[in-house]
Chain A
């Protein structure tokens, strides 16, 4: 006797495929974003401790303001919270001295060199960038956002994104070229 063709198909592999799985909870989505937010946080700040604080403030603010989230693109929304928190804090507080090289050791790089000296030079050069220009560069270069997305995250016109990006890159380039000069001791 052949099996009835009308027999309902069972979902394969134990998965409940017939049922649309519920969207991940708000908390779960934030949790999933933490690694990239942690990276972004560290790229904006000057030390691991400052970075941890910014990340924690960002998560707290996201959780408190979850009602403001419109249900679309939680990633951009979370980046906006972190960017605003950071820029506001930096505006409020007088510039602190930049992080020591010991802490900057906590970074790996293999192009602007496998050389730790080059890596440190790059990270140190970042310290001289204006905070808003640095944020644009990090969002583009490290976090992989399009210029339009950055405009949305920072709530600035596209033209401003481009001018900040340009400024960050030119300053960084100039700084790295300057620092590349090795000053020899004057001959005895």
Chain B
């Protein structure tokens, strides 16, 4: 050790972590230049840092199940894990066949197919936002044209139309951009005179070619959903099923096909 430049260990750590200012960095570098053993140690720490960052960087991702996670402690967790496990096995098999184990293994498997994810995500978007008092939407109904253009652009829908549900007693509250199966999706929210809300969710998935009308229910919240070409639609609400179905059918009529 060079006793004329004593550098406390805490400062060496701060150097390795890039937490020092210019003066501090220079002081440590001068010290390291004269103390090769310490320099090797600090270099090892930095290599550890890089290695650790890289080792875990791939986990910092969003997942389709994120909304479900935040939507609440009420949801059971078991199905999520089994679905993930099944998807993981599939990705493993595909990765093996494709012959690149490393990256293929690491890629987070899509938890569900889009058609499975749609009602979940629709329900969770509804649970999160329909109860919001102050900011249930990002763009309010007074800017409906802007809303349609903006969301249309994000979803690559040239002539996005915001469904008009006035005949069924529901007025547009507004809309927001949401992740749907990790891609930009649109949510429109409507409200009737008694303050009941319903949401309409649109997501894009180029792999979808399925067209059928389905219903999913959990607690009192029901979702009608269907896939039309690359676009998936979901109508969610806590209202009588007959009325919700009418709304879904009305949306189906109004959305361009």
Contacts and interface: CB of A to CB of B under 8 A. Distances in A.
Interface of A: 14, 22, 25, 27-28, 30-31, 34-36, 38-39, 41-43, 48-49, 51-52, 55-56, 59-60, 63-64, 105-113, 116, 118-119, 122-123, 126, 137-138, 140-142, 146-147, 162, 165-166, 169, 172-173, 176
Contact of A108 (B63, B106, B146): B106
Interface stretch (B26-34, B44-52, B191-199, B218-226): B44-52
Given A122-B48, A172-B48, A35 B61 contact: yes
B44 A173 contact: yes
Given A141-B52, A147-B14, A166-B9, A64 B73 contact: yes
Given A137-B52, A141-B17, A147-B19, A34 B106 contact: no
A108 B103 contact: yes
Nearest to B88: A48
Nearest to A41: B59
Contact of A38 (B44, B59, B77): B59
Contacts of A122: 48, 51-52, 55
B56 A107 contact: yes
A116 B54 CA distance: 12
Interface string B124-150: 000010001011000000010010001
B135 A141 contact: no
Contacts, number: 135
Given A108-B103, A113-B51, A122-B55, A39 B60 contact: yes
A39 B84 CA distance: 17
Given A14-B143, A141-B17, A34 B69 contact: yes
A138 B9 CA distance: 19
11 contacts: A31-B66, A31-B67, A43-B56, A51-B59, A63-B70, A108-B57, A112-B51, A122-B52, A138-B56, A146-B19, A169-B48
A106 B69 contact: no
A122 B167 CA distance: 63
A108 B58 contact: yes
- Grouping DSSP codes into helix (H, G, I), strand (E, B) and loop, the B interface class, with mixed when no group exceeds half, is helix
* Size range of the chain B interface in the assembly: 35 or more
Interface in B132-177: 132, 134-135, 143, 146, 150
B49 A162 contact: no
Contacts of A166: 9, 13
Given A14-B150, A34-B70, A165-B13, 16 more contacts: A22-B134, A25-B135, A30-B70, A38-B63, A43-B55, A55-B69, A105-B105, A108-B55, A109-B51, A111-B54, A112-B47, A112-B48, A141-B17, A142-B56, A173-B48, A176-B44
